[in-house]
Every structure is written in C-alpha cells, then in structure tokens.
C-alpha cells in the first residue's frame, strides 16, 4: 500500500504536515493531486480527468505522474505490502 494526498492546496503548510504524518504510518507517494476544477468538471460528465481535460492540464499531468510512479513501484517486489 501507499498513501497519496488528494485535493491538495498548492503551497499550503497542511499538505506538508499531512505528508509527514502519513510517512510515519507507511510509504507516501511523492506525487500530490491538487484541488483542481477539472476533476469536478470531468466527474459531472462521468469521465476521468484524463478523458476530459487537455493532456497539458495540471490535473492530467498530476494523474499521469502518479500513474507512472505507481506502475514503477508495483514492479518492485518489496515496495507493496498486503495488510
């Protein structure tokens, strides 16, 4: 497992506090997903943000970065634990 911070407000001290606190309980992804309007707008139409927003949008870039990180770490035998 790993933790990912979602709906993070950019440059908010609470995000860093959350990352630090979560790190005491397990692995935390280096990627945070921001609080972006594109997520809500995509959801209204029943889409994922990657289907809705342009590839260059911050929301899509963040989701792609998280997916890339997740795929890389799933391949590492000891990176994931079943609880």
With a cut of 80, say whether residue 17 has pLDDT above it.
yes
pLDDT of residue 81: 55
CB atoms within 10 A of CB 80: 13
Rounded to the nearest integer, the mean pLDDT of the chain is 89
**Lowest pLDDT segment from 3-7, 13-17, 65-69, 78-82:** 78-82
Question: Is residue 78 over pLDDT 70?
Answer: no
Q: What is the dihedral of CA 18, 23, 26, 32, to 10 degrees?
A: 50
Name every residue whose Cβ is closer than 8 Å to that of residue 15 and which is 6 or more positions away in sequence: 5, 8, 9, 32
**What's the rounded mean pLDDT across residues 5-33?**
93
Distance between alpha carbon 37 and the CA centroid of its chain, in Å?
15
Global pTM exceeds 0.75? yes
The pair of three-digit structure tokens given for residue 49, joined into one six-digit string: 């943000």
pLDDT digits (tens, 9 = 90+) for 41-65: 999 989 999 999 999 999 999 999 9
């Amino acid at each position: 497992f790993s933790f990912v911070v979602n709906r993070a407000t950019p440059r908010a001290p609470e995000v860093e506090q959350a990352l630090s606190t979560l790190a005491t309980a397990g692995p935390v992804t280096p990627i945070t997903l921001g609080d972006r309007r594109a997520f809500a707008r995509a959801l209204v139409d029943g889409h994922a943000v990657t289907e809705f927003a342009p590839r260059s949008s911050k929301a899509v870039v963040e989701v792609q970065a998280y997916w890339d990180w997740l795929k890389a770490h799933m391949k590492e035998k000891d990176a994931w634990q079943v609880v």
